[in-house]
């Protein structure tokens, strides 16, 4: 998702799995086993993390070798760790040790088969796919000269152009990079499924779903329940956006009774639509929130944007970032080499060296992304004193939700305080405009966040076979999002692979859940701050009470099942999308009025 959605390069659940372990002494207690695994894991984690960091910042054949070898050792350790951890099932142990063993037995997004050659193959495939994505570019002739553009440049065209054909060309151009690793992805699926069996699961999808402290089938039902809560609102938004795009491009290109062409939504993957806000603005010129222009006019650079994001967190009473963060992070795209620009947060050296990698641009979107990334960093800092195996979000959706929760407090009042807008306009029209811009990001994303892993779960289970990867992808995109490709797509293409999280092998349901939970978190923190009035007007900026409540939850890490962490912050023990409906109540009513004479659906 733009760059708000990120890979945690070495996840906390794998921190304890990035080392080589010898065979356990058969007399070793469960507690001693856990302590040994964590000690060995911390040691080699330093080497593995460094190899991955260098690989993403210097994409060369040499760094590919180093990263693949490091990954191979990590996978070897993981195989041995799982085999040893299984022996403690059903034995007596304290609750803390039992939680650690449980996490070890479910904590991998890419488990390797217990075979040295296959481990090496899996590590090489994962490294190579990610490298190909990071180095991807689309070359075409412009004004008689060949021009090659990387993802950021292509994204900029999709964000700003309103030329139907230019948008279509850029959209398909980026998708020329992914067919090259389609066969590698197929092999990854085979190896990942084989490795999942060592964890006791039929396939990789079932292993991923087991990471939520509930049975896999129960989790599938839970995810569907959350989607059903917000689906009617999404359908209202889709209906209105389609009507406005039809006015802009013509009903021949955007029919009023079908899916929306995917390249017209301002984003390379149609996952967020806020870049087309100028076409959707309900009340022209009312309460303009052109933060990008303000950032540029006021001379913000990458460092000042990052420092400003940090100030939000410290205003809540959370600690300053360590100096090493600014010394070691990459926040500006280098001019002399390829890097993986997909923004990510990294927890290196057991919490002592947190950093981000983000090719920051001076835009409102990237400003928000910085807050998202620092949400990860502050999670790392707050659970730093937990044992290694408990260093992670209560579940992966928690980790993704923190920075986005903070973004919900970037209200017009906050932006005015920071000098990024001139005045706060309080009117119904101003509220509708602001909420439309937010909904084009937050609500438009929900079905995309849901369908990516729906596709992968079907791929892992075999329901979608290798001969229908692309058909299965577009069937789900149309079903969930109501969009369609601008060109005929065949099995020669690999459109799923044009999204980083597929070759990067990052589970995606975490983002869907985070977009639900961030509103739930926001509501709870606003109540703690004593906010009265509409939820969409609340900002917790500067409120130490809300900050302590947030910090206390972050410090729990994944030491307890996620319902305990949820209860600590919100008083609830389940995820709930009702706060979204509360937050967007004004816009939801407005959309229903606009759509009353339209034919919605697709």
Distance, CA of 559 to CA of 392 (rounded, Å): 8
Whether 328 and 355 have beta carbons less than 8 Å apart is answered as: yes
Q: Residues near 36 by Cβ (< 8 Å), separated by ≥ 6?
A: 21, 24, 28
Distance, CA of 245 to CA of 309 (rounded, Å): 34
Distance, CA of 496 to CA of 271 (rounded, Å): 13
The enclosing H or E element of 348 equals strand 344-348
Distance, CA of 443 to CA of 579 (rounded, Å): 13
Q: Do you know the residue count of the chain?
A: 602
End-to-end CA distance of the chain: 24
Whether 237 and 439 have beta carbons less than 8 Å apart is answered as: yes
Q: Residues near 323 by Cβ (< 8 Å), separated by ≥ 6?
A: none
In sequence order, what E strands does 463-529 have? 483-484
Helices (H) and strands (E) in the chain, counts: 24, 7
HEC secondary structure over 95-159: HHHHHHHHHHCCCCCCCCCCCHHHHHHHHHHHHHHHHHHHCCEEEEEECCEEEEEEHHHHHHHHH
Q: Of residues 238, 240, 263, 376, which has the active-site annotation?
A: 376
Whether 7 and 344 have beta carbons less than 8 Å apart is answered as: yes
Q: Of residues 372, 399, 493, 522, which has the active-site annotation?
A: 372
Q: Of residues 64, 70, 100, 343, which has the active-site annotation?
A: 343
Q: Residues near 255 by Cβ (< 8 Å), separated by ≥ 6?
A: 246
- Dihedral, CA of residue 29, residue 32, residue 33 and residue 35, to nearest 10: 160
Whether 520 and 576 have beta carbons less than 8 Å apart is answered as: yes
Tokens at residue 475, please?
Answer: 């069937």
- Smallest Cα–Cα separation from 347: which of 379, 315, 320? 379
Q: Of residues 400, 524, 541, 577, which has the active-site annotation?
A: 400
Active site residue 400: yes
Active site residue 294: no
Active site residue 373: yes
Q: Residues near 347 by Cβ (< 8 Å), separated by ≥ 6?
A: 8, 10, 12, 15, 354, 376, 380, 391
Collapsed DSSP state (helix, strand, coil) of residue 594: helix
Active site residue 511: yes
Active site residue 439: no
Whether 62 and 105 have beta carbons less than 8 Å apart is answered as: no
Tokens at residue 310, please?
Answer: 């940090």
Task: Please name the residue ranges forming H helices in 383-411.
Answer: 396-407
Collapsed DSSP state (helix, strand, coil) of residue 58: coil
Give the rounded distance of the alpha carbon of 274 from its chain centre.
17
Whether 183 and 491 have beta carbons less than 8 Å apart is answered as: no
Active site residue 26: no
Distance, CA of 430 to CA of 37 (rounded, Å): 55
- Smallest Cα–Cα separation from 153: which of 327, 351, 361, 428? 361
Q: Of residues 240, 501, 522, 531, which has the active-site annotation?
A: 501
Whether 140 and 169 have beta carbons less than 8 Å apart is answered as: yes
Active site residue 238: no
Whether 410 and 539 have beta carbons less than 8 Å apart is answered as: yes
Q: Of residues 373, 379, 493, 529, which has the active-site annotation?
A: 373
Tokens at residue 299, please?
Answer: 């001379």
Active site residue 51: no
**Residues annotated catalytic, as ranges:** 342-343, 372-373, 376, 400, 501, 511
């Amino acid at each position: 998702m733009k760059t708000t959605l990120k890979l945690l390069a070495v996840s906390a659940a794998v921190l304890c799995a990035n080392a080589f372990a010898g065979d356990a002494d058969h007399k070793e207690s469960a507690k001693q086993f856990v302590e040994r695994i964590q000690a060995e894991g911390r040691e080699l984690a330093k080497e593995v993390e460094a190899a991955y960091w260098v690989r993403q910042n210097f994409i060369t054949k040499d760094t590919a070798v180093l990263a693949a070898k490091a990954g191979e050792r990590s996978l070897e350790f993981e195989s041995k760790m799982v085999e040893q951890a299984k022996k403690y099932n059903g034995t007596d142990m304290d609750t803390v040790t039992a939680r650690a063993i449980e996490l070890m037995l479910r904590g991998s997004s890419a488990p390797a088969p217990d075979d040295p050659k296959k481990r090496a193959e899996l590590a090489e495939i994962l490294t190579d796919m990610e490298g190909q994505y990071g180095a991807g570019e689309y070359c075409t002739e412009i004004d008689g000269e060949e021009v090659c553009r990387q993802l950021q440049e292509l994204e900029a065209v999709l964000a700003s152009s309103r030329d139907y054909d230019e948008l279509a060309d850029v959209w398909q151009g980026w998708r020329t990079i992914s067919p090259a690793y389609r066969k590698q992805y197929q092999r990854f699926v085979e190896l990942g499924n084989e490795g999942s069996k060592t964890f006791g699961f039929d396939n990789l999808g079932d292993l991923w779903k087991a990471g939520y402290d509930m049975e896999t089938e129960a989790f599938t039902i839970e995810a569907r329940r959350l989607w059903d809560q917000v689906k009617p609102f999404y359908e209202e938004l889709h209906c209105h956006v389609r009507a406005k795009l039809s006015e802009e491009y013509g009903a021949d290109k955007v029919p009023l009774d079908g899916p929306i062409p995917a390249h017209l939504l301002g984003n390379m993957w149609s996952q967020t639509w806020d870049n087309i806000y100028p076409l959707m603005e309900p009340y022209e010129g009312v309460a303009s929130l052109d933060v990008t222009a303000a950032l540029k006019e006021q001379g913000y650079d990458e460092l000042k944007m990052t420092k400003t994001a940090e100030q939000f967190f410290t205003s809540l009473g959370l600690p300053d970032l360590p100096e090493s963060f600014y010394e070691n992070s990459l926040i500006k795209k280098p001019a002399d080499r390829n890097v993986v620009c997909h923004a990510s947060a990294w927890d290196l050296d057991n919490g002592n060296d947190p950093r981000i990698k983000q090719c920051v641009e001076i835009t409102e979107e990237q400003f928000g992304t910085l807050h998202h990334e620092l949400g990860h960093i502050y999670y790392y800092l707050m659970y730093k004193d937990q044992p290694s195996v408990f260093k992670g979000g209560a579940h992966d959706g928690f980790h993704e939700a923190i920075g986005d929760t903070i973004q919900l407090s970037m209200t017009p009042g906050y932006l005015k305080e920071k000098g990024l807008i001139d005045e706060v306009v309080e009117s119904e029209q101003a509220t509708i405009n602001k909420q439309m811009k937010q909904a084009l990001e937050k609500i438009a994303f929900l079905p995309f966040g849901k369908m990516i892993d729906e596709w992968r779960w079907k791929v892992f289970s075999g329901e979608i076979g290798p001969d229908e990867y692309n058909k299965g992808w577009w069937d789900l995109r149309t079903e969930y999002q109501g969009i369609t490709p601008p060109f005929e797509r065949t099995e020669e293409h690999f459109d799923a692979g044009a999204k980083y999280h597929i070759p990067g092998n990052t589970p995606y349901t975490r983002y869907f859940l985070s977009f639900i939970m961030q509103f739930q978190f926001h509501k709870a923190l606003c109540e703690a701050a004593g906010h009265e009035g509409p939820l969409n007007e609340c900002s917790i900026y500067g409120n130490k009470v809300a900050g302590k409540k947030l910090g206390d939850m972050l410090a729990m890490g994944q030491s307890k099942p996620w319902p305990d962490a949820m209860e600590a912050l919100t008083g609830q023990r389940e995820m709930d999308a009702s706060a979204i409906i509360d937050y967007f109540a004004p816009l939801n009513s407005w959309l229903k009025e606009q759509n009353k004479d339209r034919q919605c659906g697709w």
